[in-house]
Amino acid sequence: MREVNIGSASDFADPGRKIIGFEGFEVGVFKLDGEFFAYLNLCPHMGGPVCQGKMIAKVEEIIAEDRTSKGMAFSKTRMHVVCPWHSYEFDIRTGVHPGNARARLRKIKVTVSDGEVIIGVPDARERVPALPEMGE
Ligand code: FES
């Protein structure tokens, strides 16, 4: 696997992301609380540019002791990216869909060395979603 320096870690907003283009595919690199996460920019649903979607805190239901709902709130710890095509959401730290663990983004190796962000360029066989398209 070839490794590519995509620039200084300090050039990323936090939270923030950059889309890195290669010939024929893209990688989304996210920074959250100083940590980096990277995925192929290809949604497992129907191939949309998932990493370009809105970054938003996970919406969680607050359940009281009597098991009644106290409404919805934004998570203080979990951040999602929302695919711009059909709004599937994925946890940015894990790449996994919150309602279906089989639906996940293709993880890309990312490290920080001497303040520089390095990603592992996926081989051709890895440039497909983690699972075949899920369809509707
Ligand atoms: S292609 Fe991403 S939600 Fe449909």
Q: Which of 133, 38, 126, 119 is nearest to 85 (CA)?
A: 133
48 lines ligand 1 (CB under 6 A): yes
Q: DSSP strand E in 1-136: where?
A: 2-8, 16-22, 25-32, 35-40, 54-63, 69-82, 89-91, 96-97, 100-104, 107-108, 110-113, 116-121
Query: Within a domain: residue 131?
Result: no
- pLDDT tens figures, 3-22: 999 999 999 999 999 999 99
- Residue 12 inside a domain? The answer is yes
Per-residue pLDDT of 34-66, as tens digits, reads 999 999 999 999 999 999 999 999 999 999 999
Question: What's the total number of domains in the chain?
Answer: 1
Q: Percent of the chain beyond pLDDT 90? A: 86
The CATH number linked to 108 is 2.102.10.10
User: Is residue 25 lining ligand 1, measured as CB closer than 6 Å?
Assistant: no
136 in any annotated domain: no
In a domain, 132, yes or no: no
Flag whether 35 is in a domain.
yes
Structural domain includes residue 133: no
Q: For residue 24, what are the domain limits?
A: 2-126
The answer to the question of residue 73 being in a domain is yes
The answer, yes or no, to whether any atom of ligand 1 lies below 6 A from the CB of 88, is yes
Ligand 1 atom 3: the closest Cα is on which residue? 86
**CB of 105 sitting under 6 A from ligand 1:** no
- pLDDT bracket for residue 129 (50, 70, 90): confident
Residue 78 lies in a domain: yes
Q: What's the gap in Å between 107 CA and the centre of ligand 1?
A: 17
Arithmetic mean of pLDDT over the chain: 93
What per-residue confidence (pLDDT) applies to 131?
A: 61
Q: Look at residue 133 in the predicted model and tell me its pLDDT.
A: 52
The model carries a pTM of 0.90
